[in-house]
Structure 1
């Protein structure tokens, strides 16, 4: 079973930076993601989703390849490529993999204009190591399907920003009498 996490950030750059950090954790096999999407609320209130994969382009490329192959059979490779690319792009546009796009747009409506949010669909994770790596990145947990203890640990790790960045100074030695 997967868990959904939605974290708000003050800027699109910060949300993208944290997404890259989490994808690096995935390459280390510490977390397995089903999806990771950055949602940006523009100054005019529109919601823009930055998906990890552009399904329309992938569909067009795949459709173009298959259209070319089928076009060779009927001795019309250019027509096959065009028809295949168009139908592949349409199929890719209608495909929704991972987190439901309408759900993300509705949830991202709670963001302030000019801010961004990161949606994560987490299949599995090594909680202690992932939270240690996310310690101090900032952000506000907006929604999660974690149990209460995991959610509290995530909130604590993200909020550790101010305390982790500021080293504690040693107390001054008393002056000699």
Structure 2
């Protein structure tokens, strides 16, 4: 099952470091991250959102590959590449998978100026190692879809 955890952090810099940390943990196979994003409120009070997955870019790459293959079959690889890339980019833009954008915006509105929230969607994790890696950032749990018992355990582990 995939779990969503939203962590509150003191700054945008901390959010960027936590996102990088989750990438590193995923490379070490300690975290199976499906998606991640962060939101922060700038000095003017505007919510800014950074997504880690560019669906349009991924869609374009996939579409270009399929378009080229289809183009080769019909003896027009350049046209196939162009049509495939365009349709893949559009499909990627229109497909909202991963973390719900409305949730990110909603949580972002509640942030204090200068503070940030990191949104992690993960299938599995080596919990003790991930928690130990996050502790230096002193995150707070803003929201999660974990059971109440598991959420309480996570809060306790991050505070100890």
Normalising by structure 2, we get a TM-score of: 0.81
Give me the whole-angstrom Cα distance separating, in 1, the residues matched to 2:65 and 2:31. 34
The whole-number CA distance in structure 2 between the counterparts of 1:29 and 1:47 is 32
| SS state at 1:63 partner | helix
Hey, what does 2:27 align to over in structure 1?
27
* Structure 1 contact 64–84 (Cα < 8 Å) conserved: yes
**What RMSD in Å do the two structures reach over aligned CA positions?**
2.4
* Equivalent-residue separation in structure 1 for 2:69 and 2:145 (angstroms): 45
Q: Deviations over 1:54-74 (max 9, x none)?
A: 110111122222223323333
Question: Cα gap change, 1:44/1:82 in structure 2, threshold over 3 Å: closer, same or farther?
Answer: farther
Change (3 A) 1:150 1:73: closer
Distance 1:145 1:73, change over 3 A: closer
Larger Rg: 1
- Normalised TM-score (structure 1): 0.74
Higher relative contact order (CA 8 A, sep 6+): 2
2:70 aligns with 70
Structure 1 residue aligned with 2:110? 110
Residue 145 of structure 1 pairs with residue 145 of structure 2: yes
SS of corresponding position for 1:132 = helix
**Equivalent residue for 1:60?**
60
Count of residues paired in the alignment: 160
Write the deviation string for residues 29-74 of structure 1: whole angstroms up to 9, x where unpaired.
Answer: 3332222212233344443332222110111122222223323333
Which consecutive residues of structure 1, in runs of 5 or more, have no partner in the other structure?
161-177
